[in-house]
Amino acid sequence: MTPPGFALQQLTDTDASVETPAFADLLIDAVAAGASVGYLPPLAPAEALAYWRSVQAARAAGERLVWAAWSGADLAGSVQLDLVQRPNGWHRAEVMKLLVHRRFRRRGLGRALMLAAEAAARALGRTTLVLDTLLGEPSEQLYAGLGWQKAGVIPQYARVADGSLQPTVVYYKLL
Ligand SMILES: CC(C)(COP(=O)(O)OP(=O)(O)OC[C@H]1O[C@@H](n2cnc3c(N)ncnc32)[C@H](O)[C@@H]1OP(=O)(O)O)[C@@H](O)C(=O)NCCC(=O)NCCS
């Protein structure tokens, strides 16, 4: 269920690009708050926009689904589903870049975005879902609460802001 005051939107082929300052700000905010989402702080707007340009290209190729959560005109969150293209993985997808802006956290948006992505995956026959997240992040509680299973921990996976290498946890969910 979408939390009151928010609107969830699955971007369609014809929807506007995600290569916009609002999407860039969402990623910059998460990185600034210490999230391990591929980048180290400070993340420059141009680098964030370049990331969303790559997402836009994946969308255009039909390989990526993107959701946006809105609070009025403000982008409050987003999540992506990467559809595996290789023939042995047509039943598989990876949940990527679950992001909720700090201004809008702990209101159920992360959970709602995950449920939207899972529902779309199920409808597409993408019944094996995977994701990874830094060990000990709050997102672990979110995933566990939604029935995701912990496959294992990979040590020294991601560099974080203080320069150290931190472990990541791989999760899966069979729909
Ligand atoms: C992880 C993230 C998406 C959660 O978004 P959110 O909208 O705040 O999450 P929700 O409000 O839906 O929380 C759902 C549940 O997750 C858990 N949770 C979420 N944030 C938490 C926190 N800071 N501390 C403890 N538990 C937390 C709780 O169990 C929560 O349920 P509750 O509020 O009823 O206790 C958000 O913190 C975020 O964008 N983090 C940075 C990016 C990131 O780490 N993404 C995931 C890995 S790619």
Looking up residue 69, the CATH number of its domain turns out to be 3.40.630.30
* Band (1; pLDDT cuts 50, 70, 90): confident
Mean pLDDT of the chain: 97
Angle between helices 45-60 and 21-32 in degrees, nearest 10: 120
Q: Report the distance separating Cα 78 and Cα 39, nearest Å.
A: 17
Q: What's the pLDDT score for residue 20?
A: 96
Question: Is 68 part of a structural domain of the chain?
Answer: yes
* Band (16; pLDDT cuts 50, 70, 90): confident
- Do 129 and 116 form a contact (C-beta atoms < 8 A)? no
Question: Is 147 part of a structural domain of the chain?
Answer: no
> What is the pTM for the complete model shown?
0.98
Q: Report the distance separating Cα 22 and Cα 24, nearest Å.
A: 5
Question: Is 25 part of a structural domain of the chain?
Answer: yes
Q: Is 16 or 108 the better-scoring residue by pLDDT?
A: 108
Question: Is 160 part of a structural domain of the chain?
Answer: no
Cβ 98 under 6 angstroms from ligand 1: yes
Cβ 28 under 6 angstroms from ligand 1: no
Question: Is 173 part of a structural domain of the chain?
Answer: no
- Do 18 and 59 form a contact (C-beta atoms < 8 A)? yes
Q: Report the distance separating Cα 54 and Cα 27, nearest Å.
A: 14
| DSSP output for 26-84 | HHHHHHHTT--SS--SSPPHHHHHHHHHHHHHHHHTT-EEEEEEEETTEEEEEEEEEE-
Q: How far is the centre of ligand 1, averaged over its atoms, from the C-alpha of 99 (Å)?
A: 9
Mean per-residue pLDDT, 109-137:
98
Share of the chain above pLDDT 70, in %: 100
Using CA positions, which residue lies closest to atom 40 of ligand 1?
Answer: 99
Question: Is 138 part of a structural domain of the chain?
Answer: no
Q: What's the pLDDT score for residue 12?
A: 86
- Do 133 and 140 form a contact (C-beta atoms < 8 A)? yes
Q: How many domains does the chain have?
A: 1
Q: What's the pLDDT score for residue 164?
A: 97
Of 48, 20, 46, 56, give the one whose Cα is nearest residue 32.
48
Q: What's the pLDDT score for residue 144?
A: 97
Question: Is 93 part of a structural domain of the chain?
Answer: yes
Render the burial of 47-63: b for 16+ CB within 10 Å, e for the rest.
ebbebbeebbebbeeee
**Domain extent at residue 35:** 7-128
Within 10 Å of residue 36's Cβ, how many Cβ atoms? 21
Cβ 1 under 6 angstroms from ligand 1: no
Question: Is 69 part of a structural domain of the chain?
Answer: yes
User: What is the DSSP-derived secondary structure letter of residue 16?
Assistant: P
